[in-house]
Amino acid sequence: MQYFGVQINNVGFTTTKPTLEYTAEDYSLVMSTNLESVFHSCLLAHPLLKSSGNGSIVSISSTGGVTVVWPGIVYAAAKGMSMILCSHSIFFQL
C-alpha cells in the first residue's frame, strides 16, 4: 500500500513594481505562482491524503497575507486568498 502523508506548499513570487504599474502579465504571474499553484496542488493531493487516513497539508504563507505590503498589493492579495483556501487544512503555518 502506498502512503501519502503530507503536502507542503511553499511558494512565493512578486515584482517590485508599484501596483499601478503592474501589467496583466505581471498580475497573472503573481496570482498563478502564489495562489493557483497552491489550489491545484491541494486538489491533487487531497484524495491521496484522505485515503491515507492521516494526512496533513502544510501551507507556508507570508505576513503579506495579513498586513499591508508595499508595493506588493497583488502579492498580499494572493497570499491572503491562499490562507483562506488552506484554512480547511489539518495544519496551517503562517
48-65 per-position pLDDT tens digit: 888 887 778 887 877 666
Residue 22 has pLDDT above 60, yes or no: yes
Number of Cβ within 10 Å of residue 15's Cβ equals 17
Catalytic annotation, residues: 75
SS3 state at 92: coil
Q: Where are the alpha helices (DSSP H) in 4-92?
A: 24-31, 37-52, 73-85
Range name among 2-16, 40-54, 73-87 with the lowest pLDDT average: 73-87
Q: What are the chain's domains?
A: 6-88 (3.40.50.720)
Q: What is the pLDDT of residue 24?
A: 94
Mean pLDDT value across residues 68-86 = 70
67, three cell numbers? 498586513
Residue 92 has pLDDT above 80, yes or no: no
Q: What does the alpha-carbon distance between residue 71 and residue 77 come to, in Å, rounded to a whole number?
A: 12
Mean pLDDT of the chain: 77
Backbone angles phi, psi at 70, to 5 degrees: -115, 130
Q: What is the pLDDT of residue 29?
A: 92
Q: What is the pLDDT of residue 20?
A: 86
Q: Are 14 and 74 in contact (CB under 8 A)?
A: yes
